Amino acid sequence: MHLSITQLKVSALPSDEEAMAAADTLFESSKTWKEGKTIKGVKTYREKDPDDGAPWHCRVSVHKPEEATFEQLWAKLGKDKALNEKEFIPDINKVAKVKQISDTQTIWTLYYTFTPPVSPRVFTVLQITRLDESSPRSGTIVSIPVDLTDDQDLVKLEEKGVKGRYVSIERLLELEDGSIEWRMATSSVSHNL
């Protein structure tokens, strides 16, 4: 499997193993991407995907235990991530759980509203999570764009708006000193106004 902004049909969603293998490959690749700015300790990187042409952007931050623990970060990212994002991203107006596929796979739809003339955007994604409790602990979240049109019952749960697409991978990694490295890479297209 190759992670990209190409939407997958509900009938063609990957297994946890396929998605995590693709994420692991992309995490390794991100270590060689072109370095950008460092802003308040957050390092940025970028790369162009030769397969779909959409640019990838990566950011890496390290958080001391007194700032946030592994458990606190995982509670917000690894469990109901889309609902938690709504609490921190003012442009997200609505979030709906479309389908719980398993304990580790959930389809979400996120409805963003922006200041006119930008039209509302709808992003529908499959979020897959993996928590590894062995030392060093790590948690991975993969978000893949989904096309619901092959299941009309699910389509009814999706908000109306311009359909955007994003793919992202996030990893929390516990470091030897107890700090947490948070690495996120994303690629997106939000279409015209």
Token match 């990694």: residue?
Answer: 173
> Could you tell me the pTM of the whole model?
0.93
Q: Is 153 helix (H, G, I), strand (E, B) or coil?
A: helix
pLDDT greater than 90 at residue 116: no
Q: Is the dihedral of CA 159, 161, 162, 166 positive or negative?
A: negative
Q: How would residue 148 be classed by pLDDT, with cut points 50, 70 and 90?
A: very high
Alpha-carbon distances of 29 from 37, 41, 48, 88, rounded to whole Å:
18, 21, 12, 29
Among residues 75, 44, 18, the alpha carbon closest in space to that of 186 is found at 44
**Average of per-residue pLDDT across 50-75:** 91
Q: Write the pLDDT tens digit of every residue in 8-46.
A: 999 999 999 999 999 999 999 999 999 999 999 999 999
CATH class of the domain at 8-189: alpha beta
Q: Is 141 helix (H, G, I), strand (E, B) or coil?
A: strand
Cβ atoms of 127 and 136 within 8 Å: the answer is: no
Alpha carbon 39 to its chain centroid, in Å, reads: 21
pLDDT greater than 90 at residue 193: no
Strands 138-147 and 8-9: parallel
**Average of per-residue pLDDT across 179-187:** 97
| Number of CB atoms found within 10 A of residue 144's CB | 27
Q: How would residue 122 be classed by pLDDT, with cut points 50, 70 and 90?
A: very high
**Average of per-residue pLDDT across 54-61:** 94
| Structure token pair of residue 108 | 């979400």
Element (H, E) at 73: helix 70-77
End-to-end CA, the chain: 31
